[in-house]
Each structure stands twice: as C-alpha cells, then as structure tokens.
Structure 1
Amino acid sequence: NLNNSSGVIVGGNVSSGFNFNGTQTAKIGGTLSNTNINQNSVTTGLATSDPAFRVNLTQQKSLLTSSLTDLSQTMKGLDSNSAVTISGNRATFNATPNADGVAVFNLTAAQLDSFGEVQFNLNGADTAIVNVSGENIRLNDNFLGGTNNLGEHVIWNFPDAKKLDLTTAWGGSVLAPTANATTGNYIQGSAVFGNLVQNGEMHIGTYSGGYNPPSTPPGGGTPTPIPEEALGLFALGTLGLLWARRRRARAAA
C-alpha cells in the first residue's frame, strides 16, 4: 500500500501489486498491472515516450549510489563514544552524545548475532549511529519498548554488507548501500539498499535528525566530484547529497 505519499517513480514495470490510497502521482517507465489506482494520477510508458525520464533516473541513481556509499563509509570511520552492554540475550545501547548530539556505537556482525533483544536509550541524542561491520547481516532482534521514534534518530549503518536479511520489525533507519537485502517485516525509518526484495512494509518515522557529515573524511583522503543532478532524494539521501556537495567544494578549493 502507498498511502498519502508524494508519489512514486519506477523506471521499469510494476507487476507485484500496488494499492494507491489518497491523492498522489505515479510515474512508471514501463507497464503497470495488478494495481488499484483509485483516484490517483498514473502515467505509464515514460521510458519510451519521454527520453529525459530514463536519463534523469540514471543520473539520480549515479548520485545516490556514490553519495550514500561515501556517507556510509564516512560513518564507518567515526570513533565510538557510546557503549553497548550485552548481557545474556539482551543488548543495551546507552547513548552518550557529543556536543553536536551525535552518539556512535561500533560492533561486528558476530556481536549483532549474539543477542536477540535490543534496548535503546537515546539519552537526548539527536542522532545515534550504529556501525556494524561484516558482509553477511541478519536483523532478527526484538526491540524492547517497541520501534516507535527510533527511525527519526537511529541510523544502523552496514558499510561492508553484501547480504542482509531482515525478519523482525526493525527500529531505526537502515543504511546498507552495497547490500542485496530481503525484508520479511517492517522497518520503522528510512532504508537504503543496493538491491531489495521487499516482503515487508516501510513505516513513516524516517530519519529527521540534524547530523552533518564532516567536511573531511575520517583519516583524510582526496574527495572526488559527484554530479549535481538528483531528483526525489529522500531522507538519508539528503545527507548523502550534503556530503557530495561538501566533497565538490573541497575538490574545487
């Protein structure tokens, strides 16, 4: 179901079944089937009828891929300032934010697999970044107290992930730009994947914190200019765009 959103843009065909509820606009590059349009505005065949449609999507993909991957790697390089306490089957995340309101946790995929319950204490943090290293990720934990309000402030970052499987309701936005992901339950927050087989919902409560990526990547490095064109950047994508702009400015200096 797509409920009262700003709409959807799809480059190819839609055949898995959409329900458009409310008033919104859908732009489809190919064909549309098994879909309840209701009172919404839907245009199909744009990849053929409008050459600029495919060009714009290709440019947007390039920008999103590069900027969000860079953002994920930048977060990976942040030093931890907050502690995770693992006791039995429970992990307690106690945020100790810095002066900018940012808390950083670092753990491995093996550590993530070692518990089944998550207790998150933001303690006033505007943004809590949880960096999880490892190529194979399983998200199958239960969130004590529920998932509400975590997506706006918690970013689970999986910078090395190649495969990600989610089976339980997940609290917090997920940044895994190189992962082939499969979701079997909902995510309460923003989500970025390399590829996605979606069998669960995406709930509102997307990231809304004020985190600003550093102008210089942790550990240094030479920035590479990124194209400016992007359409419809969403949630975490705006952070990636900010990072891309800062990289371009530094490269031009």
Structure 2
Amino acid sequence: MSTNVRLIATALTSLAMATASAGTSLTAAEVINQFNLVTLGDATIDSHVDGRSYIGGNLTGNGAVFAMHPNDMPSSSFAGLTVDGSASGLSVTAGGATILGNLSNSNINSGASVITGNASNTNFNGSGGSYVYGTKSGVNTNSGTMNATAAATQVSTAQSTDFASVLESTSDGLQALSSTGSYWTVSGNRVTFTAVANANGLAVFDLTAVDDTLLRYGEFQFNLGNASTVVFNSDVTSATINANFLNGSAAAIGSKTIWNFYNASNLTFNTQFGGSVLATDATMTNYNNIEGGVFVDRITQRGEIHLQPFKGDLNMALASASVSSVPEPSAWALMAAGVLVLINVGMRRGSRRD
C-alpha cells in the first residue's frame, strides 16, 4: 500500500470515528416529535413542561419542572432536559439531564445526568447515576455515579444536532408551501378556520395577507375535516394572541397542527393555545397553556407547555414544499432553450477562431 493510500485510509478511519462519536443528528421530523420545548437561546421558566426539552442557552428556573409525563414522551436518545449553558432552579421528573455548563439549586429525580461544569445545592435521585466534570458543593448523589464513557456518550448526544439549522430549514420549507385552498370566515369576534386537505391529508392556511387582523380576534373555531397535517403560515412580525379556542379545540388540534410564524420577533400568548409554535427568530412569552410543541429563539414561560407529540407527516409536508418550488414544465422548456442557444453561440465562436 502506498504512503498516499495509507494516509487517505487513516484520514477516512479517523473521520468515521469522529462522526460516530459525535452521534447522529436528528431530522426535522424527529425534533418536532421528540421535543416538547426547544429554544435556540436563553429561557426563563416558572412553570411545567410535560415532555422533553432542549435549551440552547442558559436556563433560569423558578420552580421549573421538566419531563413531567415520561410515560407519554416519545423515545429519544436525548435526556429529559438538555441545556447548552448553565441552569438553576429546576426539577426533572424523568429522563435525566445533560447540562453543558453549571447546575445549581436543582433536583434531578430520575435518569442519568451529566454536568460538564460545576454542581451546587443539587440532588441527584432515582436511578441512572450522575457525573459532574467540575466541582461539587452541597450535592447529594443518591443515584450513584456514572462511568466516564457513559457520560461522554451522553454529552456527545447532546451536541449531535444543530437545532438552529434544523428548525430554520423546517420553517423555510413550510413557508414555501402553497395554500391548499383552506380558508376562514369571520363572524363578529369569531374566526372559523376550515381546512381543505390535499390527497395526502395536508392542509395549508396562508395567513400572510390577513394575520395582523385575524390574530386579534377573540375566538377561534376549527373545522379541520380529514386533514391529518395542518400548517398555518404567518408573516406577522409581532403578535399578542388572546383568542379562546372554542369547544376544546386547543387540545384537539395540538398534535397535528404547526403554526409557522416565520417572520416573528415577538409573540405573546395570553390564553390556551393549540398546536406547535415554530418561530425561530421570536422571543415568546406565554401566560397560559400551550397544547403542543414550542420551537422558538427565546422564551419566558409563565404557563404550562403540554405534551402533544406531533403526529402529522412533516416529511410529506416538506417534500410537498420542495415539489412546489420546482419550475413548471414551461419554465424548464425556456431554460433548456436558453442553454441550447448559449451552446450554439459558443460553438459558432469556436469555429470562427478555427
């Protein structure tokens, strides 16, 4: 074997090992399904999150509780709580925690936990064990100690997915979807949304021309029919939503609906809201329960985030967006004709030089 071949083989082997050790990145569908809350930046939380959470910055908790309903959480290689920064003032019911910084004044009641910084005034209970890379002060390790290899694997998993890239691409893809003919009517203070689904069960509402007005109404009603995946596209930059979701519809639509606020920088929810909230550039504040996932830049959470794992077909929706962005046959014909003209001109010029 030549020296160059050996070097190439060694490089490929090292790359494979590095890729394996880094863990496998989650897809968009996996993120939306497995996580109840994802923030790309800091979070201030005074309430409960029923499912799994990823915080992309620092987490400041005041009685914050995570992974409250472990029996209902979709399976995942991620911990019940992952924080890409420091965290304090929280409890984790199940699934353990991975904190890529310091942890203080907290209780991890079940599951394996890894702290890459220091831990203080914290209890690690239940099963799974814990591993603290830094110093410990006022820490009870009732769950035992993890081995270093398992701890490193858990950290690798926590760092395996670029959540910002995945969610921003998802928002862009959903934004590209054309309306399926879904519509709304207004009567007094009530908006009724009526879904028209395509053959795949996808219903898309394009709210871009009216969202500033519609989102101010006081009552939302939904007729979703046979739609199994529902997308609301909104280009609103800022919104305060006070609408009551009628007839228990917030919980009823939560697992199949995504509100894609692709242009929002500030969102406030004062009433119970149904469906996943996707707003990767927004700071969100909720004072009432959200029935679905929350995927935002930053959050101040005052109300609960209830577990409604997304059961719609996100892959199908994103594939539909890709198809809708492909040029029509007539456009392809024009492009091909243009290329042929350029080739013909180039050949003529070449023959003249000869």
Same fold (TM > 0.5):
yes
Task: Determine if contact 2:195/2:223 at 8 Å carries over to the other structure.
Answer: yes
CA distance in 1, matches of 2:155, 2:114: 14
Which residue number in structure 2 is paired with residue 113 of structure 1?
215
Per the alignment, do residues 25 and 51 of structure 1 end up closer, same or farther by CA in structure 2, a change over 3 Å counting? closer
Structure 1 or 2: more helix by fraction: 2
Quick check: which has more Rg, 1 or 2? 2
Which residue number in structure 1 is paired with residue 101 of structure 2?
30
2:240 paired with 1:164: no
2:176 paired with 1:77: yes
2:306 paired with 1:199: no
Q: Could you say what secondary structure the match of 2:247 adopts?
A: coil
| Unaligned runs of at least 5 residues, structure 1 | 222-253
CA distance in 2, matches of 1:30, 1:185: 30
Task: Determine if contact 1:95/1:103 at 8 Å carries over to the other structure.
Answer: yes
Task: Determine if contact 2:272/2:288 at 8 Å carries over to the other structure.
Answer: yes
2:195 paired with 1:122: no
Aligned amino acid, residue 204 of structure 1: L
Shift in Å at residue 54 of structure 1? 7.2
Per the alignment, do residues 158 and 207 of structure 1 end up closer, same or farther by CA in structure 2, a change over 3 Å counting? same
Task: Determine if contact 2:203/2:229 at 8 Å carries over to the other structure.
Answer: yes
CA distance in 2, matches of 1:199, 1:135: 22
Count of residue pairs brought into register by the alignment: 217
CA distance in 1, matches of 2:306, 2:276: 10
Q: Choose which of 262, 276, 280 in structure 2 pairs with 1:177.
A: 280
Shift in Å at residue 53 of structure 1? 7.3
CA distance in 1, matches of 2:223, 2:236: 24
Q: RMSD of the TM alignment (CA)? A: 2.6
Per the alignment, do residues 131 and 39 of structure 1 end up closer, same or farther by CA in structure 2, a change over 3 Å counting? closer
CA-to-aligned-CA distance 1:62-106 (integer Å, 9 cap, x gap): x32223212212222222221111111101011111100011111
Task: Determine if contact 1:161/1:178 at 8 Å carries over to the other structure.
Answer: yes
Which residue number in structure 2 is paired with residue 245 of structure 1?
none
Task: Determine if contact 2:81/2:92 at 8 Å carries over to the other structure.
Answer: no
| Unaligned runs of at least 5 residues, structure 2 | 1-64, 71-78, 119-131, 134-150, 328-354
Q: Could you say what secondary structure the match of 2:203 adopts?
A: strand
Q: Aligned residues: percent identity? A: 35
Shift in Å at residue 172 of structure 1? 0.8
CA distance in 2, matches of 1:86, 1:31: 50
Which residue number in structure 2 is paired with residue 94 of structure 1?
194
**What does residue range 1-253 of structure 1 map to in structure 2 within 5 Å?**
1-2=65-66, 3-5=68-70, 7-15=80-88, 17-21=89-93, 23-45=94-116, 49=133, 57=158, 60=161, 63-80=162-179, 81-107=181-207, 108-146=210-248, 147-211=250-314, 212=316, 213-214=318-319, 216=322, 218-220=324-326
CA distance in 2, matches of 1:12, 1:28: 7
Aligned amino acid, residue 268 of structure 2: D
Per the alignment, do residues 194 and 19 of structure 1 end up closer, same or farther by CA in structure 2, a change over 3 Å counting? same
Task: Determine if contact 1:27/1:46 at 8 Å carries over to the other structure.
Answer: no
Per the alignment, do residues 42 and 54 of structure 1 end up closer, same or farther by CA in structure 2, a change over 3 Å counting? closer
CA distance in 1, matches of 2:299, 2:264: 13
Which residue number in structure 1 is paired with residue 20 of structure 2?
none
Task: Determine if contact 2:96/2:108 at 8 Å carries over to the other structure.
Answer: no
Aligned amino acid, residue 190 of structure 2: R
CA-to-aligned-CA distance 1:111-159 (integer Å, 9 cap, x gap): 2334111001110110111111121122221100122131111111111
TM-score after normalising by structure 2: 0.55
Q: Could you say what secondary structure the match of 1:149 adopts?
A: helix
Per the alignment, do residues 194 and 138 of structure 1 end up closer, same or farther by CA in structure 2, a change over 3 Å counting? same
TM-score after normalising by structure 1: 0.76
